Amino acid sequence: MRRGCKRVAKAPRAATRRDVFRAQGARNVTWLWTVNTVTEPSAPLRDWWPGAGYVDRVGIDGYFFRADATYRSVFGATITQVRGLTSDPILLAETAVGQVAGAGKIADLFAGVRADHLAGLVWFDQAQDDGLYHQDWRLEDSPARLAAFRYASKTLLSERRWFLPRPLTRPAWPAVRVPARLLGRRGYAA
């Protein structure tokens, strides 16, 4: 493991052991290994990787703190490292665009998720009014960010195939056909 840039020890696997769940008969557990975005090239994720036998999906936590943040600058290096470890689906397990970065970054976030064929994202919807790294991440308190989120999610969710991980090994959800008469002019359900 690393703390900052100092090596401590290899990542413990006991906490992620499937054996405990399997011994109890639980076969429907999905293991999500989640990491923070990599900010230093000298902190390789390989040191933390528990191994393919312990991970079903990979989660990444990362935020748009600054006005100059982009999807690539926040998540690019981390996604590259994760894909070097596994082909398991990747989920942005905790993310948000703060007031400082602005509503315009939300479209970039969704477009990046789509372009990288990620499994999806989970929005961190909390107020943490305490400096750059603890902003108000809530959508409901920012009409501009809420409108940008609604637009980006409707636009990108209209083509459900972007949500599917590559390669598709099993259905991510049951297939649903929406009759054309129920779709709006832009192709998504209203």
The predicted-structure confidence for 71-86, as pLDDT tens digits, reads as follows 999 999 999 999 999 9
The encoded tokens of residue 135 equal 């902003």
Global pTM? Answer: 0.74
Q: How is the chain split into domains, by residue range?
A: 2-182
The answer to whether the CB of 58 falls within 8 A of the CB of 82 is: yes
Identity of residue 170: R
For 135-172, what is each residue's pLDDT tens digit? 888 898 889 999 999 999 888 766 554 444 444 344 44
The answer to whether the CB of 123 falls within 8 A of the CB of 171 is: no
Give the Å distances, CA to CA, from 11 to 2, 3, 7, 23, 58. Answer: 9, 12, 11, 23, 15
- Chosen CATH of 2-182 out of 3.40.470.10, 3.20.20.80, 3.30.2320.30, 3.40.50.970: 3.20.20.80
For 78-125, what is each residue's pLDDT tens digit? 999 999 999 999 999 999 999 889 999 999 999 999 999 999 999 998
Identity of residue 124: F
Can you tell me which residue has the tokens 């064929």?
Answer: 117
Q: How many Å apart are CA 180 and CA 184, to the nearest integer?
A: 8
